[in-house]
């Protein structure tokens, strides 16, 4: 069985962000950033300068989730390294093709994010052009929400499409992931997890990440 990767979701408001990254660097392959513009979702988090500065703290892959009304201006200002994974929302992009081509030009890995209320079929036309699909398992914008059970059916549909189409895109999940459901989601075919609360709301984030990784490692093939 494949062993998915965990991307701890860093907080833009963490006063000890450098220390957090230093502690987690040995335990993960990358970091997830929930970028919010106050328009696509009510909250604001991260700005371009802060995102670009993360690279001074780690050489790990960044998974940048753009919950913004118009991602293209953000893409133009990013200077992150070539293998960064960038998720743009199917609901927010008017010119999806333009954004995907721009990301490929920058040697970034393009990803399409889809919110729970959006018909999954909307992402299918782009699946031969993206590295990953980000399946939101909560409503975009708020940390700490409960995992939406309907995500499992949507995940099954996406995995089925991947198998029958012969495509090899990755499947990411973001929202409400914890020790109770990460094992099942691993079995169902998820490749990448963006996780915030189940790591950073725990007394020791290092121990919490280790426990999540152990659950994944113990999944039987």
Q: What is the mean pLDDT of the chain?
A: 94
Say yes or no to pLDDT of 93 above 90: no
DSSP letter for each residue of 160-213: HHHHHH----EEEEESS--TTTHHHHHHTT--EEEESHHHHTSS-HHHHHHHHH
The pLDDT of residue 221 is 54
Number of domains in the chain: 1
Q: Does residue 91 have a pLDDT over 60?
A: yes
DSSP-assigned letter for residue 65? E
- Nearest 5°: phi and psi at 182? -70, -30
Question: Which pLDDT band, with edges at 50, 70 and 90, does 169 fall under?
Answer: very high
Q: What is the spatial distance between Cα 218 and Cα 3, in angstroms, rounded to a whole number?
A: 10
Q: Which letter does DSSP use for residue 70 in this model?
A: -
For 203, list phi and psi in degrees, rounded to 5.
-60, -35
CB 1 within 8 A of CB 221: yes
For tokens 């700005």, name the residue: 47
Spatial CA neighbour of 112 closest among 128, 123, 98, 101: 123
pLDDT for 51 equals: 96
pLDDT for 16-29, tens place per residue? 999 999 999 999 99
End-to-end CA distance of the chain: 4
Full domain range(s) for residue 129:
5-217
CATH number at residue 175: 3.20.20.70
Concatenating the DSSP letter of every residue in 114-169 gives E-TTS-GGGGGGGTTT-SEEEEESS-TT-TTPPPPTTHHHHHHHHHHHHHHH----
pLDDT of residue 67: 95
| Distance from C-alpha of 174 to C-alpha of 190, rounded to nearest angstrom | 11
This model's pTM is above 0.85: yes
The pLDDT confidence band at residue 175, using thresholds 50, 70 and 90, is very high
Q: What pLDDT score does 1 carry?
A: 52
Q: Which of 181, 178, 190, 100 is nearest to 154 (CA)?
A: 190
Q: Residue range 160-170: average pLDDT?
A: 96
């Amino acid at each position: 069985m494949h062993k998915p990767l965990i991307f701890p979701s860093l907080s833009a408001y963490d006063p000890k962000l450098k220390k957090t990254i230093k502690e987690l660097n040995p335990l993960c392959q990358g970091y997830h950033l929930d970028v919010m513009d106050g328009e696509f979702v009510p909250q604001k988090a991260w700005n371009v300068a802060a995102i670009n500065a993360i690279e001074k703290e780690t050489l790990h892959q960044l998974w940048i989730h753009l919950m913004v009304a118009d991602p293209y201006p953000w893409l133009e200002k990013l200077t992150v390294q070539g293998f960064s994974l960038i998720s743009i929302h199917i609901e927010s992009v008017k010119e999806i093709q333009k954004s995907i081509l721009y990301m490929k030009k920058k040697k970034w890995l393009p990803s399409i994010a889809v919110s729970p209320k959006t018909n999954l079929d909307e992402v299918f036309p782009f699946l031969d052009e993206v590295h990953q699909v980000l399946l939101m398992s909560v409503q975009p914008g708020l940390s700490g929400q409960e995992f939406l059970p309907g995500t499992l059916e949507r995940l099954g549909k996406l995995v089925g499409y991947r198998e029958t189409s012969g495509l090899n895109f990755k499947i990411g999940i973001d929202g409400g992931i914890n020790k109770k459901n990460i094992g099942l989601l691993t079995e169902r075919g998820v490749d990448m997890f963006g996780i915030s609360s189940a790591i950073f709301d725990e007394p020791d984030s290092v121990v919490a990440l280790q426990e999540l990784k152990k659950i994944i490692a113990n999944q039987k093939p």
